[in-house]
Structure 1
Amino acid sequence: MPVTGWMAAAAATLALAAPATIEGTDLTDFLKGTPAADQVLAKGGDDIVFGLGDDDRIDGGPGRDVLHGDGVCPPGAERPDACTDDDDRTGGDDTLRGGDGDDVLLGGRGNDVLEGGAGVDSLSADAGNDRVDGGDGDDEVDGGTGLDRIEGGAGDDWIATGAGSDTIDGGAGDDLIATESGNDRIDGGSGDDQIESASGRDRIDGGSGRDDIASGPGNDTIDVRDGVRDTVDCGSGRDTVRADRRDKLVSCERVNRR
């Protein structure tokens, strides 16, 4: 299979003309896929990868990697700044794995799977019904629109989603979770979490820890019965709350205290 590109002492740039397995080096690589479904193994180093079209599988390996599931690169591009995330025509159902290191994962359009791995990662799923796992570390996760399933993992995570009925598990750590419209299921996990939901019939479980929860319009179900003092602002709607006697509740209609 033809390979085009250049090799240098500290970097490698590879682009293939047909679907294939593309392997980087343990140096700093710039790797491009094809319009077809590719498998990219970036290996070690601080790599930049563009999957381009179709359903790609990209493994960043160790290092501080930037992985684009989609994107557009002009023919013969030898530098990442020549490429863009303009993926209106090239979106696919991609799988991105960051590996160890502080990685940036950009899924683009399509139903993507993003796994940050260990490190302080930034994961953006964009449009589609995506599955996102931040892994260990203080991660930043943007689910975008669609029916997403998000796990923050261990660490103090920032998790946000767009319109759509999402399922979110903050995991261990002091997390900040914010959702937009949709019937969301949110579990803060262990830690002192801040949870904000928008319109919809949401189900919120603060988990263990001193949580601060604000639910938006809609008939929500909220559980903060964990033996420590939590704060819940139910907002508008006819909400149901399961709480401890020491919890602070505001504008909550149906309350079951213990």
Structure 2
Amino acid sequence: MSHVFHLQPNLEVLIKEGYISKSQAKSISANGSLQVEVDAVWDEDQRKHIEQEFKTLARRFKLTPYLDTLLFICLVESNKADQQYQYKFQAYEQLKRDKEIAQFLLINKPYNKHKPNNIKITGVMDSAKVTDPLLIDWLGKLVKEAIEKQEFDLSVFGQSWLRFVANDDGEVGTEPFSINYTYVEQVANTKMRKPGIRERNRYLALFLSNVLSYLNTYTPLSKLGDKGYTDDQVKFLFEVACIFEWLNELDFDSEPKDYVYTLLSNYIR
């Protein structure tokens, strides 16, 4: 046993909705089941917990005939939404890192009339402060030359260095490279906001809306008309969000279904 899910979903539905191709469907049929592995589930206990909770949920809402297809869609859409949120957060972290490097590079900006008079690093237990102008200048040059000579860890700086040495038209010439201080100043002054609940809710809403689309198209848990959601639908979606640890029922004082209704109304147009 493992953290991998073994499901037998409706392959025709998955083909129609673009989750798998016809050739993949043939391979799945030959193997007898569809194996699904997602980042958020990494051990057997997690898998068993999700399977059991989802089975109980499907039984309560009379969706047992759709169990494997619905679980597949929830696994895939939850994982996709989480990855999108993580990418958003990683992009923020990279921009934050670029901004800090840019601010440091300005120490040695040519014709800079106002040189910094100290560099301070503070930790939980220790701190260091550099006030010697020669040391400050030397440290600034070390960073500048490391970027121009590509002497840095790509896992830290990534491909951002290309923009730091590109010309004003965004073109990177041949070595030797030199810092483009016009671009550096733009990065140093970039306004940024850390991704938070707003972004997470947006991706959660996308996840739940895709599950809702399946419910409306293929199951009895559907709505009448073109707008709105039924109480049963939003109750079901709330519990799905809890099973996949996007929400926690204990965090809600008000009616949970009202939260999901507002979430979908605010983010899905």
TM over 0.5: no
Q: Which has the higher contact order (CA 8 A, sep 6+)?
A: 2
The structure whose residues are more often strand, as a share, is 1
Q: Larger radius of gyration, structure 1 or 2?
A: 2
TM-score by length of 1: 0.22
TM-score by length of 2: 0.21
